[in-house]
Amino acid sequence: MDSRSGDATRISGLNGVQDRECDRFIISLATDAGAPATSVGRTRVVFLRDLGVVRVFLPDVTDTNITDGVFELPLIDRAYVVRSADGSLYVDAHLGAAAMARTVVTESPAQIIVELDPGGPALPPVAARSDLVVVLTPREGRADYPLIVTG
C-alpha cells in the first residue's frame, strides 16, 4: 500500500467503532518515544476472505504492549497482534460477519483504518482459540492430509 518510510515503530491502539455507514477497525501508531506517529510507513493490507480475516502487515513496526482487542461489533469481532519471524508485527482482524473491506491511511496522527460494509460470501466457522493461540487452519470439518496448521 505505502512504500515510503514513516516514523511509526509501535502499535499504540486497537479500536473498533460502529457508525451508521460501516464498522471501522483502527490501528493507531506511535514513535519510539511513545508520541503519536505522524506517518505510517510501509504497509500492506490483505483480505483473507476464506479465513474471515483482514491482515495488516506493518514491516517497520516492531513494538507494542497490545496483544489483542475484543470489539464484538456486527462486522469486526476481535483483533490479534502477531509477531512475524523477522520481528515485525502484523494485525489479524477477525470478522464477525460477511463483509467488504477498504483501507484508509491517515497521517498526523498515523492510523490505519479498515472500513467494513456488510456483504460478500458467508464466512468460514470461527477460528479455534485459547488464551495464547489462534488456529486459522484447519477449520471445523473434514481435514486433508498432510495436515497443515497455521495461526
151 residues of the chain, pLDDT tens digit each:
555 789 999 999 999 999 888 999 999 999 999 999 999 999 999 998 888 899 999 999 999 999 999 998 999 999 999 988 888 899 999 999 999 999 999 999 999 999 999 999 998 777 767 666 666 665 566 666 665 666 5
Residue 149 counted as domain residue: no
Q: In the chain, how many domains are there? A: 1
Closest to 18 measured CA to CA, from 76, 63, 82, 96: 76
Angle in degrees, CA 71, 72, 73, rounded to 5: 90
Residue 144 counted as domain residue: no
Residue 148 counted as domain residue: no
pTM: 0.85
In terms of residue numbers, what domain contains 25? 10-123
Residue 102 counted as domain residue: yes
Closest to 109 measured CA to CA, from 18, 17, 13, 42: 13
Residue 132 counted as domain residue: no
Sign of CA dihedral 50, 56, 58, 64: negative
Q: What is the CATH classification number for the domain harbouring 104?
A: 2.60.40.3470
What are the cell numbers at 144? 486433508
Residue 138 counted as domain residue: no
